Amino acid sequence: MNYECILYEEREFVATITLNLPELRNPLTKQLCEEIVHAVRFADEREEVRAIVLTGNGPAFSAGGNMNEFKQNFEKSVPELYDEGMASNDLFKLGATVRTPIIASVNGPALGGGTGLVAMSHIAISSDRAKLGLTELRLGMVPYVIMPLVRRAVGDRKFLDMMLTAKVYTAEEAKDLNLVHYVVPNHQLEEETWKLAKTVASYSPLAVRLSLDSFYLTDRVDLLKSFDLLSTMRIVSFRSEDLKEGASAFLEKRTPAWRGK
Q: What is the pLDDT of residue 260?
A: 84
173: annotated active-site residue = no
Q: Which amino acid is at 63?
A: A
| Lowest-confidence segment of 17-31, 61-75, 112-126, 163-177 by average pLDDT | 61-75
The residue among 36, 179, 29, 160 whose CA lies nearest residue 98 is 36
Residue range 81-114, pLDDT digits in tens: 777 777 778 999 999 999 999 999 999 999 999 9
Residue range 115-159, pLDDT digits in tens: 999 999 999 999 999 999 999 999 888 999 999 999 999 999 999
| End-to-end CA, the chain | 29
Q: What is the pLDDT of residue 71?
A: 63
| pLDDT tier at 190, thresholds 50, 70, 90 | very high
Q: Judging by beta carbons within 10 Å of its beta carbon (0-12, 13-18, 19+), is residue 157 exposed, middle or buried?
A: exposed
Domain boundaries, the chain: 6-201, 205-252
CATH architecture under which domain 6-201 falls: Alpha-Beta Complex (3.90)
Q: Which amino acid is at 182?
A: Y
| pLDDT tier at 73, thresholds 50, 70, 90 | low
* Active-site hit among 48, 136, 173, 192: 136
More confident residue, 84 or 164: 164
pTM, full prediction:
0.91
